[in-house]
Amino acid sequence: MKKWILLCWLMGIMAMQGQEQTASEVLEKSIAFHDPDGQWKSFDHSFEVVMETPNRPRRHSKISINLPKQFFRVVAKRGDTTTDMQVAKDSCNILLNGSANYSQKEAENHRLSCERTKMYRDYYTYLYGLPMKLKDPGTIIHPKLLYKRFKGKKYVVLKVTYDPKVGKDVWYFYFDPETYAMEVYQFFHEEAKNDGEYILLTGLKKVNGIQMPKDRAWYYNRDDKYLGTDKLQ
């Protein structure tokens, strides 16, 4: 009888362990939700984003990404100023109000440079390519799943760090435990200082077959100060 009870107990433990998800499985389920047809690798599309920030005019941006051709372009308009920044592989081209003839001072005032153009490329490709971008080389998915409550809702959470050549921040990605939609992400420069920001994702919009978050609202971790919202049009 004792052996039977022990056997049942061991089988129960094994069943519970078998049901426990891994971090990789959660990531795959989220990718299946956001990119069910595997379109991201061949992404070639344009979309528009409006950035709303406190006490500043809206910035309207048209973003074009062609991953197979390594092409990126962002045309941004704020007030009376329009910048056109594009990079194709290692070459870049920058226009200010439709012209390539602008002074060094104008370039500095509007932060026009090939380095910044590539920064925008990496920024927009990363954010709008999530969670698929978490499979890129240099990304370290911590194997232990976390379960956290954030803004009153329970999430399954992945902790992500990067090879030092890729990045130094610590990231947390929050997924709905039923649909595996990505609803929050958060990063820290130094987690002990509670610095960095968190981003709340609301709504979905299909772009080239990919379910992208429609609105991204940015806040400081330390005091919940609102920074702005990117709205996918």
Q: 0.95 cut: is pTM over it? A: no
The dihedral sign for the CA sequence 151, 153, 154, 157: negative
Rounded-to-integer distance, Cα 222 and Cα 157, Å? 20
What is the pLDDT, as a whole number, of residue 12? 41
Instruction: Express each pLDDT in 1-29 by its tens digit.
Output: 545 544 444 344 333 343 578 999 999 99
User: Which position has the higher pLDDT, 13 or 194?
Assistant: 194
Instruction: Express each pLDDT in 86-145 by its tens digit.
Output: 999 889 999 999 999 998 999 999 999 999 999 999 999 999 999 999 999 999 999 999
Reported as a pLDDT band with limits 50, 70 and 90, residue 81 is very high
Q: Which residue has the tokens 């379960």?
A: 147
Residues present in the chain in total? 233
Question: Rounded to whole angstroms, what are the CA distances from 99 to 7, 61, 107?
Answer: 78, 18, 12
